[in-house]
Amino acid sequence: MTDVLLLVFLFLIAGVIAVPIASRLGLGSVLGYLIAGIVLSPILTLLHVDVLSIQHFAEFGVVMMLFLVGLELEPKLLWDTRMQLLGLGGLQVTLSAALIAGGGIAFGLSWQMSLAIGLIFALSSTAIVLQTLSEKGLMKSDGGQAGFSVLLFQDIAVIPMLAFLPLLAMSGTSDTASGSHDASLSLVQGLEGWQTGLVTLLAIGLVIAGGTYLTRPAFRFIAQANLREIFIAAALTFVIGTALLMTLVGLSAALGTFLAGVVLANSEYKHELESDIDPFRGLLLGLFFMTVGAAIDFNLLASEPLVIIGLAFGVMAIKAAVLLSLARTFGIGDEQGWLFGIALAQAGEFGFVLISFATATSVLPDSIAPRLTLVVTLSMMLTPLLFILYDRMILPRYRFAEPAKADTITAPSRIIIAGHGRFGGIINRMLLSQGHETTVLDHSSAQLEVLRAFGVRAFYGDATRPDLLKAAGLETATVLVIAIDNRHQATELVRYVTQNYPHVHITARARDQNHVYELWSAGCRDVIRETFDSAVRAGRSVYEALGVPADQAERLTQEFEVHNRRTLRELADLHDPAIPPHQNAAYLKRARELMDEQSEQLRTRGGTVADQEPASGS
């Protein structure tokens, strides 16, 4: 018992320390878990821990991940993204796998082993790419949307890969014994080929029929007990039972749970299942990645550094070349094409799963697996550096250069809207409803196609580029609305326009209070906080729910809003970007004074909300 507790403590403390640090450094949670495993490796060796046995247990986290992936695959989403999903995603996986497999054959490997390696390296890291794109505000860009479609296809492609890999082992490529993942119990052992196929089809049919017709009444009955732990137990029972059934008929457990997830994608219990399964998935996946890190053979890296590093760079170069070619073919131009190519150039976390599975099913020999694991890990660790390269070397080249496919703006208007998302789109509709002509600039071609279909004058381009702004008519414009997602670019755009076109009135969207200060210091005096007005309205509703009369709640809300705006303008002059607000003595002193002043003012004029009786029926 003590040994088990010590082992659990070691893995938990390593993850708790390493993952937040890695996330703060921009490396992502997957690399954090890998680093934690690397640090634990000598301790586990000292304790004589069988890392591979723990890894086989932790692989169930992958099974749960694929169940959740299946839950997210709604038919409508697949249909809406079918062109990029099948075109970009299918070609990326096929071409990357083929080229890498060709390289393996050129180095003397059998075609079966080469194809398996090609499939392993064709996948990218969903965790690292999506997290990085989200942090940088690039998910809605053309490159980000294309990358998401490819990652979605890759997640789906893992399922047929898991089903296909054992067929390569049947071709006699193995130099190991039978896979360790074979079930000790089997429903197809000793059956004829047609009988095995029939049993397999019946098992798949049972999963589909059960998920469609049995789960809803079963979950409804369990939900009536109103005990969350019982519902969690039922969700785990469903996932584990499906995985067990697939294993008994000789199929991958991941294939079965993925199929079950797809069947339940439109169920009313979908979100509850996600929230119940996700914590187990996260912990087991973290444990899996830590065991991968602990199993890395650094003696091998030290003995063959040029081979391992060369393979890592070679794989990334091949994938980047394929991605850049596809970007050009599908019209993803300039910096967005580079973003697409760089973001997905690494190998991914599913590579660890496929390496483990291919080794267990005798597709790959044990001598090759450690080298492949090192290549996958190294390529993932290089990904943050590639994004830094993109930000500092590639993006500046295109920001101030005329794009090859830039739209020509023939009739500029007095109102320019930079960014047509959920914020800029509302402003544009308000202006159009009153007969004003606007010029919309956005870097999402998909968004622009929709706008043009509705007759909106929208043009493709990066609104931070001076030449595009000039072409849009900034020299004669009256108003510039800045509603782009990237806060740094928004601030720099404000600074550029106020310095070069002081006659233009700028209305800028701010993400938060610190962004307000940044925009204010850059020269903008019409800053709109994107959540402030809705939060104030919600606060007024809370006043009324606490028994404050509607007219008094409205007056208190207006006074709060006026005082808050005045406070913000005053504090903006004291804000120093080089000093964090909590370390800026002058800022803190004045902020406290203004808060006390506001509280006293509201209490004096209307009494406190705490004195009111809660309203009934609010």
Q: Are residues 386 and 428 in the same domain?
A: no
Note the pLDDT of residue 74: 64
Q: Could you tell me if residue 375 is inside a domain?
A: yes
Residues for the chain: how many in total?
Answer: 618
Q: Could you tell me if residue 409 is inside a domain?
A: no
Note the pLDDT of residue 290: 84
Cβ atoms of residues 277 and 258 within 8 Å? no
Comparing 417 with 5, the larger pLDDT belongs to 417
- CA proximity to 250, closest of 317, 305, 179: 179
Q: Is pLDDT above 90 for 274?
A: no
Tokens of 448: 């622009």
Q: Could you tell me if residue 43 is inside a domain?
A: no
pLDDT band at 408 (very low <50, low <70, confident <90, very high): low
Residue 217 identity (one-letter amino acid): P
Cα–Cα distances in Å, from 600 out to 137, 291, 560, 603?
40, 58, 12, 5
Note the pLDDT of residue 608: 53
Comparing 466 with 578, the larger pLDDT belongs to 466
Note the pLDDT of residue 122: 95
Q: Are residues 379 and 427 in the same domain?
A: no
CATH classification of the domain holding 294: 1.20.1530.20
What is 164-196 written as a DSSP string?
A: HHHHHIIIII--S-S-TT--SS-SSTT--HHHH
- Residue-number span of the structural domain to which 102 is assigned: 55-394
Comparing 503 with 58, the larger pLDDT belongs to 503
Interval 335-386: pLDDT, tens:
888 999 999 999 987 888 888 888 888 888 888 988 998 999 888 888 878 8
Cβ atoms of residues 183 and 248 within 8 Å? yes
Cβ atoms of residues 133 and 147 within 8 Å? yes
Note the pLDDT of residue 347: 92
Q: Are residues 517 and 421 in the same domain?
A: yes
Rg over alpha carbons for the chain, rounded to the nearest Å, is 29
Q: Could you tell me if residue 407 is inside a domain?
A: no
Interval 530-578: pLDDT, tens:
888 889 999 999 999 998 899 888 988 888 888 888 888 788 778 776 6
Q: Could you tell me if residue 22 is inside a domain?
A: no
Q: Could you tell me if residue 406 is inside a domain?
A: no
Q: Is pLDDT above 80 for 15?
A: yes
- Report the number of distinct structural domains present in the chain: 2
Note the pLDDT of residue 181: 45
Q: Are residues 91 and 155 in the same domain?
A: yes
pLDDT band at 32 (very low <50, low <70, confident <90, very high): confident
Question: How far is Cα 570 from Cα 586, in angstroms, rounded to an integer?
Answer: 12
Cβ atoms of residues 130 and 346 within 8 Å? no
Note the pLDDT of residue 386: 87
Q: Are residues 213 and 121 in the same domain?
A: yes
> How many CB atoms are closer than 10 A to CB 316?
22
- CA proximity to 559, closest of 609, 504, 610: 609
Interval 134-188: pLDDT, tens:
667 677 678 888 888 898 788 778 878 887 888 887 444 444 333 344 445 777 7
Helix (H) or strand (E) holding 115: helix 111-122
| Maximum mean pLDDT: which of 115-119, 122-126, 235-239, 469-473 | 115-119
- Share of the chain residues as helix, strand and coil, in percent rounded to the nearest 5: 70, 5, 25
Q: 394, 425, 447: which is the final residue of a domain?
A: 394
Q: Could you tell me if residue 81 is inside a domain?
A: yes
Note the pLDDT of residue 603: 66
Note the pLDDT of residue 322: 95
Comparing 413 with 415, the larger pLDDT belongs to 415
Q: 359, 394, 429: which is the final residue of a domain?
A: 394
Q: Are residues 361 and 504 in the same domain?
A: no
pLDDT band at 121 (very low <50, low <70, confident <90, very high): very high
Mean pLDDT calculated for residue range 87-111: 92
pLDDT band at 446 (very low <50, low <70, confident <90, very high): low
Q: Are residues 419 and 551 in the same domain?
A: yes
Tokens of 312: 């890592």
- CA proximity to 261, closest of 224, 284, 235: 235
Question: How far is Cα 324 from Cα 338, in angstroms, rounded to an integer?
Answer: 7
Q: Could you tell me if residue 25 is inside a domain?
A: no
Q: Are residues 469 and 558 in the same domain?
A: yes
Q: Are residues 385 and 420 in the same domain?
A: no
DSSP-derived letter for residue 116 is H
Q: What is the chain's mean pLDDT, rounded?
A: 81
Q: 330, 362, 394: which is the final residue of a domain?
A: 394
CATH classification of the domain holding 486: 3.40.50.720
Comparing 327 with 283, the larger pLDDT belongs to 327
Q: Is pLDDT above 80 for 213?
A: yes
Q: Are residues 259 and 322 in the same domain?
A: yes
Q: Are residues 193 and 80 in the same domain?
A: yes
Cα–Cα distances in Å, from 448 out to 191, 355, 438?
58, 42, 14
| Maximum mean pLDDT: which of 44-53, 509-518, 561-570 | 509-518
Cα–Cα distances in Å, from 299 out to 86, 308, 381, 382?
41, 12, 19, 20
Q: Is pLDDT above 80 for 93?
A: yes
Q: Is pLDDT above 60 for 529?
A: yes
With tokens 């809300």, the residue in question is 557
Mean pLDDT calculated for residue range 89-115: 93
Q: Quick one: how many helices (H) and strands (E) in the chain?
A: 29, 6
Beta strands at 505-510 and 438-442: parallel, antiparallel or unpaired: unpaired
Q: Is pLDDT above 60 for 333?
A: yes
Q: Is pLDDT above 70 for 524?
A: yes
Q: Are residues 264 and 184 in the same domain?
A: yes
